[in-house]
Amino acid sequence: MEGNDGPSGTRITTFSISSTAILRVAAALCLAGYVFVYAGGRAETPIRSDGFSYYVYLPSWFLFHDTTLSAVARDCCGGVFPTYTAIIRWPGTRRWVNAHPIGVAIMQAPMFGVAHALTRWTNLSADGFTMYYQHGAGLSGLLWIVAGLVVLRRIVRRHFSDSVAAATLLTILLGTNLYHHATFDSSYSHPYSFFLFAAFLDLTETWHAQPRRSTSILLGVVAGLIVLTRHTNVMFLLFFPLYGVVSAASFRARLAVIRREARLVAVIGIVATVVVIPQLAIYYQATGSPIISSYGSLGFNFGSPRIVGVLFSVQKGLFFWSPLLLLACAGLFGLARSSHSARAFVLPAVLFLVANTYVIASWWDWQFGASFGHRAFVDALPVFAIGLAAFFEWSGRNPARRHVVTSVVVIAIALNLFQMLQYWNGVLPFSDTTWDQYRGVFLKWR
Amino acid sequence: MALTRRHAILITVFVAAAALLGYLRDPPWLLSTTSGLRPWETDADGTRFRWMGGHASVFVPSSARAVELPVRTTFNAPGDWPITVTVAIDDRMSDRIVLSDGEWRSMRLRLPPPGGRKVRRLDIRLDRTRDDNYGAAIGELRIR
C-alpha cells in the first residue's frame, strides 16, 4: 500500500493495483483455488451435504419433470433420501419436504443448462449428478461470488477512493471465509446470498437516488430471491426503508419518499411476492400448507441464544476466525459519528447485524455444522465491507496508522489463508474445535 | 477490412471452443470415469467391489462384444426386501436381475454393434437401497 491524495484532499491508503485489476485477480485466485481443491482431492464432489439439497430441485424439475422430488429420490437413492440431505417425509402426507428452499437452484439454473448440454454431448449419464453437473454447481457459486465482488466494488467506489475499494475487496475475499465459500464449499447458499445482499444494497442506493420502475422490478426480483435462498434473510430487506436514515427528521423524510413513490414500492412488493410464490406452491403441494417450518422439529432457541459462541468462540466465532471484521465494526462506528456519504448505510447495517446475530445464535445448531469459520455470516460480508472501507479510509489519513493497519491486515490475511489450508487438509476439525485442538495445531501443517 | 484485435480474440475464442467441444465428444478419460460408486473395497475372499446407491454409471470400450457385471447386496435386517438391478446400455434397456439373497450374481450383457463413439455407457439402477443409500456391491467388470 502507498499514500496519495483522496477525493477530499485527505491523504488516504492506496493500493498500487486498481480495484478493477483486483477483481480480475480475485476471479483468477478463486478459479485457481477451486482447481486446487478438486484436482487435489481435498474435497468430495461439489454437490454434497447441504449443497445436495439446495441443488436437488434442478434435476427433479428439468430431468425428471417432477416437483415432488420423488423421481429423483428413486433414481439417486433407491426411493429414500439419505439422512444427511435434510429432505424429510412430511408427517401426514408422506411427501418429501426439503429443508432448503429453491433460491440457490434458480440461480444455479444457467450453469445447470450448460452442464446438461455438455453431458449430452459427451454421453455421460444425464441424471443430474455426473461430472459436469457437479462442477456446474461448484463453479456457479464461484461465479456468483465474483459477481458479488463486482457489485460490491460499485457500491464502495460511490463513497470511497479506488485504492480503498481495491484494499476492501481483497481483504473481504482473503481475510474472511469468503474465499473458502468460492472454492471448497461453493455449492452452499452463502455465495448466492453474498451476491444478492450486494445487489440489494446497490439497487436500494440507486432507487433512493432516482426511483424508477426498472430499478423497482429488479429490487423485487432480488428481494424475492433473498427470501428464496434463505428465509431468515428476509430481515435484510429492512435496508430498503431505512437506507439514509440518520435522525428522526431523515426517518420522516424517508417515510415521505416511500409514500410519494407508493406505486413503485408496490411494484417491488408485487414482484417479490411473484418470485416467492413457487416456493409456497411447493410447500403446499408437499404438506397442504403454504407456510411451514421446513426443518421439521429442528428450530430456534430464542430464549437462550449463544451470542458469545457465534461471535468469539474457538468453535466457530465470527471474530475469532475472521478478526479483520472487527475493523469493519470500528469503521461502521466511525461512519455513524461522521457526515460521510456512506453513513446512509449505518443504521440498517447495525440493526441487521444485531438481529442477524441473534437469529444465528438462536439456531439449534449455532455452529451451522461443518465450515471454515462461521458460514452464516458470509451472507452479510457486503455490509461489513462498507465498514471496512470506512476504516481503511480513516487509517490512510495518517502514515503511521496506515503502516500499522497494513501490517495487521497482511498478517491476518496470511493467518486466515493458512488456517483455511489447515481446514482443507483436515488439520483443523470441521466443527466443535476446542481451544486445546486449536493450540495444538496452531501454525502447523499436520 | 483490417483484422482488429477484437476480431482476433473472437476468432481465437471460437476456434478454441470448437476444438474443446470436438475433444469432449469422445474424450479418452471417459473409460476411467464412473459415477454413483463409492471407493473400492475388498471382501474377505479377496473380491474387489464398490457400493452403489440408486444409480451408477460406468463406461466400456465400444469394441467390446459382451460385459460380465458381478453384483450382490446384503440382507442384514429381518425386513430387507429383494433388490431389482436394471442395466441400460446407452439409455437402452439391456438386462434385469432380482437379488433375493446375499450371493454374488453375474449379469451377462451383450453389447450392440459399435456406433459412432469409442465408448459405451452402462447405467445400473436399483429399485431400492438399504440404509444411508447403500444399494448393491458392484464387482470388477469382465469385458470380452
For B30-56, the pLDDT digits (tens) are 999 999 999 999 999 999 999 999 999
> Whose CA is closest to A185, among A152, A225, A142?
A142
pLDDT bracket for residue A10 (50, 70, 90): very low
Residue B79 has what pLDDT?
87
Q: What are A273's three cell numbers?
A: 411476492
CB contact under 8 A, B55 and A122: no
Strand partners, A98: A87
> Whose CA is closest to A377, among A225, A239, A118, A172?
A172
Strand partners, B108: B68
Q: What is the percentage of chain B residues whose pLDDT exceeds 70?
A: 99
A371: DSSP letter: -
pLDDT bracket for residue A298 (50, 70, 90): confident
CB contact under 8 A, A122 and B24: yes
pLDDT at B1 over 70: no
CB A301 within 8 A of CB A254: no
Q: Give me the residue spans of the domains in chain A.
A: 2-441
User: How does the average pLDDT of chain B come out, rounded?
Assistant: 94
pLDDT bracket for residue B114 (50, 70, 90): confident
Q: Give the residue on B whose Cα is nearest the Cα of A81.
A: B133
Q: A118 to chain B: which residues are within 8 Å by CB?
A: 24
CB A295 within 8 A of CB A288: no
Residue A321, sorted as left (phi over 0), alpha (psi -120 to 50) or beta, turns out to be alpha
Average pLDDT over residues A358-372: 96
Count of positions (residues) in chain B: 144
For A196-205, the pLDDT digits (tens) are 999 999 999 9
Average pLDDT over residues A427-439: 96
Residue A347 has what pLDDT?
98
Fold of the CATH domain B28-143: Jelly Rolls (2.60.120)
Average pLDDT over residues B83-103: 96
Q: A74 to chain B: which residues are within 8 Å by CB?
A: 54, 127
Residue A5 has what pLDDT?
43
Q: Among partner residues A82, A122, A125, which is closest to B133 by beta-carbon distance?
A: A82
Question: d(Cα B131, Cα A80) in Å, to the nearest integer?
Answer: 9
For A118-135, the pLDDT digits (tens) are 999 999 999 999 999 999
> Whose CA is closest to A54, among A381, A274, A400, A375?
A375
Q: What is the percentage of chain A residues whose pLDDT exceeds 90?
A: 93
For A269-292, the pLDDT digits (tens) are 999 999 999 999 999 999 999 999
Decide: residue A15, CB within 10 A, 0-12 exposed, 13-18 middle, 19+ buried.
buried
User: How does the average pLDDT of chain A come out, rounded?
Assistant: 95
User: Strands A87-89 and A96-98, how do they pair?
Assistant: antiparallel
Question: d(Cα A318, Cα A93) in Å, to the nearest integer?
Answer: 40
Question: d(Cα A276, Cα A267) in Å, to the nearest integer?
Answer: 14
Instruction: Pick A417 or A294 by higher pLDDT.
Output: A417
Residue A15 has what pLDDT?
60
Q: What three-state secondary structure class fits B18?
A: helix
Q: What are A140's three cell numbers?
A: 456457479
Q: Among partner residues A78, A123, A125, which is closest to B126 by beta-carbon distance?
A: A78
Question: d(Cα A401, Cα A393) in Å, to the nearest integer?
Answer: 11
Question: d(Cα A217, Cα A77) in Å, to the nearest integer?
Answer: 40
Question: d(Cα A258, Cα A245) in Å, to the nearest integer?
Answer: 13
Give how far B1 is from chain A: nearest CA, Å. Answer: 32
CB contact under 8 A, A82 and B132: yes
> Whose CA is closest to A133, among A100, A107, A109?
A109
Strand partners, A363: A300
Q: Give the residue on B whose Cα is nearest the Cα of A124.
A: B121
Question: d(Cα B35, Cα A62) in Å, to the nearest integer?
Answer: 20
Q: What is the 3-state secondary structure (H, E, C) of A60-121?
A: HHHHCCCCCCHHHHHHHHCCCCCHHHCEEECCCCCCEEECCCCHHHHHHHHHHHHHHHHHHH
Q: Give me the residue spans of the domains in chain B.
A: 28-143
State how far Cα A418 lies from the chain centre. Answer: 22
CB contact under 8 A, B30 and A79: no
> Whose CA is closest to A425, among A47, A32, A142, A40?
A40
Residue A182 has what pLDDT?
98
Question: d(Cα A64, Cα A45) in Å, to the nearest integer?
Answer: 22
CB contact under 8 A, A77 and B121: no
Question: d(Cα A183, Cα A177) in Å, to the nearest integer?
Answer: 10
Question: d(Cα A158, Cα A438) in Å, to the nearest integer?
Answer: 40
Average pLDDT over residues B70-78: 93
pLDDT at A1 over 50: no
CB A352 within 8 A of CB A380: yes
Q: B interface toward A at CB cutoff 8 Å?
A: 21, 24-27, 30, 33, 35-36, 53-55, 57, 83, 90, 117, 119, 121, 123, 125-129, 132-133, 135
